[in-house]
């Protein structure tokens, strides 16, 4: 993956096992978000192969729309559709991509919103929801499509501190239910509590990875030590 001459990612090789929660950390500009977006080809890698659930999504002629609906994605800025209610946000892809009838789509949307604790917000527009509620609605939108894997791109970075907990609780519940997750975030406490593995990236490469306890307590590389030291201050 590169922009113009700048190589954003180089020599990335990473496996995520089913039901694993992989947590990606690193300084800004290290390529974390780009790596995540390559996983559903919102960004096009220049070379290399990405395999999701046994299917090479980088293959020529891969059905991107079919692949993407099995890969849920949650964004830093929520990106809810402002002209639709929370329910409408969840229902849109159910109706247009999966072709579900309205009543069925609404039932699925209700269930997804219940799961993220927004049962009573189905008819509220995004501007009537707090940041934390918007992000949970965005998680429900992805969950409703029953993805095999969920990608989180700094899901709590745009939230006021008191709203972060609600979103992390939903993510922790997802983890307990066996969802495969890749999370780019700076929430180190969440990483220690919920992650199976932490990956440290810098300058477009994976510098170091390991279990959260190891990586945070005994980083082997100097760059990792510096970064972990900084963010833990």
Partner 1 sequence: MTQYERFFDTFFNPAVMAKYFPKIIEGLLVTCQIAVLVVVSGLLAGLALALLRSYRWAPVNLLIIFFVDMFRALPPLVLILILYFGLPNVGITLSGYVVLWLVLTCILAAFSEEIFWAGILSVDNGQWMASRSTGMSYTQTLLYVVLPQAIRLTIPPLTNRTIAITKNTALGMVIGVDELLNEATTAQAFAGNATPLMMGAIAYLVLFVPVVYLGRYIELRFAWRKA
Q: Which of 162, 3, 137 is nearest to 75 (CA)?
A: 137
Nearer of residues 60 and 83 to partner 1, judged by Cβ: 83
Nearer of residues 26 and 126 to partner 1, judged by Cβ: 126
Nearer of residues 156 and 209 to partner 1, judged by Cβ: 156
Q: How many residues does the chain have?
A: 233
d(CA 109, CA 137): 10
Give least dist CB 129 to partner 1, A. 8
The label of the residue with tokens 């096009």 reads 44
Nearer of residues 148 and 192 to partner 1, judged by Cβ: 148
d(CA 61, CA 1): 19
State the residues that interact with partner 1 by CB under 8 A: 37, 40, 42, 65-73, 75, 77, 79-83, 92-93, 96-97, 125-127, 129, 134, 138, 141-142, 145
Question: 189: which strand partners?
Answer: none
Give least dist CB 22 to partner 1, A. 18
Give least dist CB 65 to partner 1, A. 5
Q: What's the sign of the alpha-carbon dihedral 103, 107, 109, 113? A: positive
Q: Report whether 182 contacts 209 (CB < 8 A).
A: no
Give least dist CB 224 to partner 1, A. 30
């Amino acid at each position: 993956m590169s922009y113009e001459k700048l190589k954003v990612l180089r020599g990335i090789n990473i496996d995520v096992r089913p039901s694993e929660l992989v947590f990606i950390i690193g300084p800004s500009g290290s390529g974390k978000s780009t790596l995540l977006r390559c996983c559903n080809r919102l960004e096009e890698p220049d070379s290399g192969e990405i395999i999701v659930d046994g299917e090479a999504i980088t293959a020529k002629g891969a059905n991107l729309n079919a692949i993407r609906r099995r890969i849920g994605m949650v964004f830093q800025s929520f990106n809810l559709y402002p002209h639709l209610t929370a329910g409408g946000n969840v229902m849109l892809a159910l109706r247009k991509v999966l072709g579900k009838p309205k009543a069925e789509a609404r039932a699925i949307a209700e269930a997804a919103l219940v799961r993220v604790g927004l049962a009573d917000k189905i008819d509220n527009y995004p501007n009537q929801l707090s940041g934390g509620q918007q992000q949970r609605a965005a998680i429900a939108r992805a969950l409703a499509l029953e993805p095999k894997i969920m990608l989180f791109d700094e899901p709590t970075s745009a939230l006021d501190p008191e709203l972060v907990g609600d979103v992390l609780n939903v993510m922790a519940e997802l983890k307990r239910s066996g969802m495969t997750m890749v999370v780019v975030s700076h929430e180190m406490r969440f990483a220690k509590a919920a992650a199976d593995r932490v990956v440290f990236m810098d300058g477009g490469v994976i510098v170091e990875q390991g279990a959260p306890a190891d990586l945070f307590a005994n980083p082997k590389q100097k760059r990792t030590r510096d970064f972990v030291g900084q963010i833990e201050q």
